[in-house]
Chains A and B, each alone.
Chain A
Amino acid sequence: MADMATGRTTATTATAATRTLGIVTLVGVAWLIVSGLLVSPADVNQGESVRILYLHAPSAWVAYLAFVVTAGASALYLFTKKHSLGWDRLAGASAEIGVLFMAVTLVVGMLWGRLTWGVFWRWDARLTTTAFLFVTYIGYLAVRRLGGTPEQRARRSGVLALLAVLEIPLVHFSVKLWRGLHQDATVLRPNGDVKLDGFMLFTLIFGVAVFTLMYVWLVLHRQRTLTAEDLLDDVGLEIAIAERRGESRPPDLAADVPRSDRPRPDITVGF
């Protein structure tokens, strides 16, 4: 789209649909903040700390959703005949956002645990598996950056994403068995249960819905920037090849050869 002030042509990752989605998401987040912090009541047992749940539960939901999408998209890349790189980029975009929200879930969950249980961490199966999931997908993102062609990246990371599906149930199962041996950690108030009244439940469900929209919005943009990155690599390669060819010619003939100072696609991220 053309920038009126500079007259420069810029590509953006936004479309009318993602812009609308972005505006709806931001309005939703604003309402969630008001609703979660001000309007909804404090919990009978937990007091004000229950408000953390409105951030914690939706983040956890998005993280798990993102990892399921990553696994599904990886399987679609590997097992469909076309091997479309679009699936691979969806897997990558989703994993990045999953790791981000997993980090939020863990940090916020630990703060809640300190307030409710008196300890930051309990070695129960769910928490421990979540931490493993987090590290596993950090590794997945590192593998995506190993280099090579987009096809190499897609195959390597696709296989790894499917191995994670194999690994996580095993880890969860073994940690669960392992916890069976021990008593639960001594905590100040072992009962962290929340009795949600109508409005609290609504806020929680609303939060999950808003975070899901946010996930879709972020994934769409991230997938588009990943597509642009792959394109830029291709363009860069073509330019480099043309330059090498130009070097081998006599100087007077090399004048029309594209150089690296030729304008490149200028990609910005807009919402």
Chain B
Amino acid sequence: MTWWRTAWLIARRDLLVEWRSRVALNQVFPFAGIVMVMFGFAIDDTRLMESIAPGLVMVATMFSLLVLVQRSFALESEDGALDALRTAGVSSSALFWGKSIALAAQLAALQALLIVLAVVLYGSSVRPAGAPLLVATWLSGSWGLATVGTLYGGLAAGARGRETLLPLLLLPVVAPVLIGATRAVEAALGARGTVVDGWPWMGLVAVFAVVFCVGGTLAFGPLIEE
């Protein structure tokens, strides 16, 4: 089986498990929604909310990322799925790519939902000129978060106390995405600056995605081999 086909099979398997169990849809997405409502309660100022909406969207994304990564690797720890994959001789880089693709798809759907919620709850609006920037940030942000999430999720997989360890490891690492994506989305939504100002920030997110995609492809094998 070719490397690509293996990665694709693993991505399809993860998405199929999600489609049949609907854990992300029925639990993680509503969680992200309630986080957005909680921000509304805490801030309680419609003008302020509109201007900080992009940051809130990204923070809600980060929290949901933690939950999605836990879920993604809970599947691997149950019934020794990860051991079985290794015994079957699945290449660890293909496993990394497969799980990243599945996670990126879920994150992309989640972020789309959060942007819609920001429009509905916080009064944000997408300006047509900002749409390409928004889409580019959305895609590179999803991929960057998915790769880094898979990498650190694999590190904590199967270890005792992983639920508490993962946030500690992951949140400092995703800070560049939080900063870059927030600024880019601000520009795209017109919360701050012009659309042109946002593109370098999108670039930062894209650089992050490339760095952790390469780093993860190389480092995932040694991390999950026991």
Contacts and interface: CB of A to CB of B under 8 A. Distances in A.
A42 interface: no
A166 B215 contact: yes
Interface stretch (A47-55, A63-71, A137-145): A137-145
A89 to B, nearest CB: 18
Given A152-B226, A175-B179, A139 B172 contact: yes
B47 to A, nearest CB: 20
Contacts of A160: 155, 169
A158 B218 CA distance: 13
B204 interface: yes
Interface in A167-184: 167, 170-171, 173-175, 177-178, 181
A31 interface: no
A144 B86 CA distance: 23
Range of interface residues on chain B? 20 to 34
A132 B173 CA distance: 9
A159 B222 contact: yes
Nearest to B221: A159
A138 B225 CA distance: 23
Contacts of B222: 78, 155, 158-159
Interface in B180-226: 180, 183, 200-201, 204, 207-208, 211-212, 215, 219, 222-223, 225-226
Closest 3 CB pairs of A and B: A174-B176, A146-B159, A139-B169
Interface of A: 78, 132, 135-136, 138-139, 142-143, 146-148, 152, 155-156, 158-160, 162-163, 166-167, 170-171, 173-175, 177-178, 181
Given A135-B168, A142-B169, A177-B179, 17 more contacts: A139-B165, A139-B169, A143-B165, A143-B169, A155-B223, A156-B223, A159-B219, A159-B222, A163-B215, A166-B211, A170-B211, A171-B172, A174-B175, A174-B179, A174-B180, A175-B179, A177-B201
